[in-house]
Amino acid sequence: MSTFERYSATIAEGDLAILYRGHSDLYPIVIKSGEFVNNNKGYVIILHPTPELWTLSLPHRTQILYQADISIITSLLRLKPGSRVLESGTGSGSFSHSLIRTIAPTGHLYTFEYHEGRAAEAKAEFEAHGLAQFVTSQCRDVCKDGFGLTNLVDAAFLDLPAPWEAVASAKQALRKDVATRVCSFSPCIEQVARTVEALTQHGFTNIDMYECLLREHDVRNVTLHQVDVMRSLAPRPKAAAVRPGKGQEEDVPIAPGSVITALVRPRNDARGHTSFLTFATLLPQADEQ
């Protein structure tokens, strides 16, 4: 059987697969015998589920994190197999799947969602995807009730409307015997300002903020002609004076042969703002062990 955790070269009854029908046309399907999928494109590619593909095809219950932000958060939180991570809120589970893949098989994710329906759907997805052993999912308003964890996790991720209200509880959940990290995901700079103030008040250091903008580049092959330098330096008849912008361009002597090379050009339309990512470090505190 194929799951997010375990790959299988063959598809079995009950497997989750991602159907690819085009660049922006992916959707998840559970394999069931006797059922049909209609497709007018003449082809379909069946893909093994990965966190990246799940992000592109999952049912949206909230706004989600995409791979550009996921990559920088995972890196700057210094996550690795064996890490224990706190996440709030769970939302549609896009980032949760990437977190689990990073910290498995010996790490653990503690994820919190205040909306009861979304929390239940996320928990059901974790179980269906074979990830339940790596995650503890709770329905909880962490801004009011806190996380209920003490000196346990290596990193915390806050995707909340008011992350500054959860900073104190996140600090309580972080380990005190080693340096730990926290990241806050906020669309507005006003949220960043209040979060930075709260982080400073609670003893966090090395506070940095990033905005991750993805800019694509076009690559194409071009032919570069070689200029015959000696011929171009030879004396030539004096050309008649012409006003700027008038007359024809003078031909440049070209040597036989040419070179084909790749030309890279950034696109003018960079993808827009998604969020501000605020990172901070909590240094070891021996007196609180």
Binding residues for S-adenosyl-L-methionine: 113, 141, 159
Annotation: binding site? 113, 141, 159
Tokens of 129: 């995807």
